[in-house]
Chains A and B, each alone.
Chain A
Amino acid sequence: MKRLAWIALAVAGALAALSGQEKEKATIDIIKPPGGHKLRIAIPEFRGSGAAQSFMGAFNETLRGDVKNSGVLEVVPDTMYPKTIPQQPSDFRQPPPVVETPRSRRDELVAPPNGGGLWMTDWSGPPVTAGYLAFGYTAVVNNVLVLYGYLYDLSRGTPANAQVIGKQYLASSVDDAGARQVAHQFAADIVTLFGGKSLFGSHIYYVHQAGFRGPKEIWAMDPDGKNQRPITHYSSLTIEPSVSPDGSKIAFTSYTKGRPAIFVFSVNPVRNLGFYNQDASMNAQPSFTPDGKQIVYSSTAGSSGQLCRIFIANLDGSGFRPLTSSRFIDTEPKVNPKGGTIVFSSGRSGPEQIYMMNMDGADIERLSEGSGEASNPSWNPDGQHIAFAWTRGYAAGQFNVFTMDVASRSYVQLTHDEGKNENPSWAPDGVHLAFMSNRTGREQIYTMLADGSQVQQLTHDGLNFSPAWGQ
């Protein structure tokens, strides 16, 4: 037995050495929870009393999905669950005092007694081996859909001591949407306890095109792909959305007035806030500063047209000044969420690469390694990592999503051999990425964890591009 273990270790070590060029630091730092390894939680299917039962498919899908997607907990598959599911604290039973393991006459082991699901040890012991149990049920009370949700810490021995969450959640409607809403809220409470950040309430803004060469509009959707809805109706080319740090505004580029120009909108309500565009053939790629009071963007203003420079301006476009002065194409400026630096794409050394500079435009340095083409930089909320698109190892145009630790310049490739993967955008939780991929033949928007796992397709209709994930 021991020898096998040593061989396995040696093989694993060899494999690790071979995978060699990429340094693993970037990924592990991002998604490893403070404890070291992910805690296991059991989430059995909740049932609904009476009329509530018809919404429980949506509820369970959302609750499980949100907790799993948080990346801070491992959800135990329900094939391992006991037969009987507790729905309220009073369902639990105490096991009888421990007795000697009974043996048959032939000295065979007999299965130890269990509670069929109503003992805490049914969940904390094998095969479930969970540290936590989420349970409860829903009902319609006075025309309100109510969730009674509980979270037990199974290490605490008795139900009386185990409750960590015991709460009523009230939905704003008696339907699938209401069921999803309370599931989102319950999951958010659970995930927050483990250092995770709920994505509930965040939004993904993106570009939607109904058919090839048709108009492009800005749309919004929930992080699970639900509630897809248009924001703009220009019937033109409207592209390149970005979100303000507090989620109250978006900025984007549109051809609606002829040449590409920048627009700044509030999202609740949807309203054009007005932005002064310099007289230029192109004003594009706007994004917000961390305090949400300024816009950085790319413009051909103030030149014979040969220059595409980065500018900074007030939220309404006034007070603009250039930050770069190269005679090449400087685009896609993105300000560090912690302030101080700006990353951008530039063709100043040939094929596009990713650069960083400080807020005055000084201290320009190249972040990307220099091969292929690197573009679409996006800051992690921690201000220390970026995600970007890179053709390294592939032909021109065949982008994959990478993450990079800016201080060390170490990088990790997240997508492989699956079409073009571009425009990564970090979620507010710093653990998820949205990105665009044409792996199915048409451009669609996907999410994944920062280690490249748990890829989910969010859009299916038409063509969808350029996700921007914000509050």
Chain B
Amino acid sequence: MSLVRLALKSARFRSTSLVLTVFGLAISVTLLLGVDKIRTETRASFFNTVSETDLIVGARSSPTNLLLYSVFRIGNATNNVTWDTYEEIAAMDEVAWTIPISLGDSHRGFRVMGTTDDYFEHYRYGNKRALALDEGERFDGVYDTVLGADVARELGYEVDDEIIVAHGLVSAAFAEHDDKPFTVVGILEKTGTPVDRTVHVTLAGIEAIHVDFRDGGRSQLTVDAEQALKFDLTPTQITALMVGLENRAQTFQVQRRINEYESEPMSAILPGATLADFWRTISTIEQVVFVISGFVLVAGLLGMLTTILSTLNERRREIAVLRAVGARASHVVLLIVLETLLVVTAGCALGVAMLYGLLTLARPIILDRFGIDVPITGLDPTQLSILGGVIVGAVVVALIPGFIAYRRSIQDGLALKV
């Protein structure tokens, strides 16, 4: 019988305490790998959200807030930008293109964003990727809408379906623009960014549904969809705008001019720099969480050490019997190390299985709550080295009980201390 089989049979005999140790280790491995996975994906998804946009302009607020509502659709603008100002900025010599955006309404939990054709033309994400239509076409008419991939998938919409937009961000029957339904004309390909969770309509459409809305409620005088088209649907204000410059070297100059704008207080931010700033704030937390999960793992390993040390006493007879039939003291150490290896490998395997199980369950929730897609992929080199580190760490830890067992087996010899 080989030493490995002996170690397996012996471990199975004491399986209750060892199984608990395996679970303890598995939980800490899941935690550590999970934290690592989420921070990697968060980071990737975060920096992939917007690309090629030189400036984002909104009413004066903190750069982070402006970034969050304009790009991530999180939170709200404190104020708007007038259409006149928008036109002035768009007309600047240095400005190559602009994308006006108008936020504030929602559809069944998804944000509705009013914009223009420029959005499909100029918006870039990831590595300079443009938006592409999976089905249908860009919006053209006032009551046309183009859905993000997740909106269509989760709500089961197809081209030609009609949707009703709710006023504000909470769906409420009394504040629905139900008299002016929008028709789905296109569905975008998945981008892995907040675009997937956005309902895109024209700026004119946003104006049209608000023709008979004043001060957040429906006015007595209702205007139907057809009549609304006769109104002047040029917006009076928008929420924010994205700006692309002719020459990137002029970014700071244009930013200053917008920040010092006379007619209304505005903020212009560099999306890359603001993302990086914001990431630094979050990454401190992220690092703290990672360190904490590292400590949880250390606690798991110490738990394993405790279990193995406590089994040494009950294994004294076993070791004396093995010594009697000719096992060397080094065989005893090897048995302990093999058992540890067994426990830690099982713990890692179970931990990885639990990680994938949890990711499968949590993926839609994380996407829904935070707009971050955590794709289920194989283990990356970082995670493999974490697992390798855990196993090596466990074997090093096992040398402690191994050494104790070694010394004891030499002292005890064939004496069966009961």
Does B associate with A? no
Query: Which of A's residues lie within 8 Å of B, judged by CB?
Result: none
Q: Which residues of B contact A (CB under 8 A)?
A: none
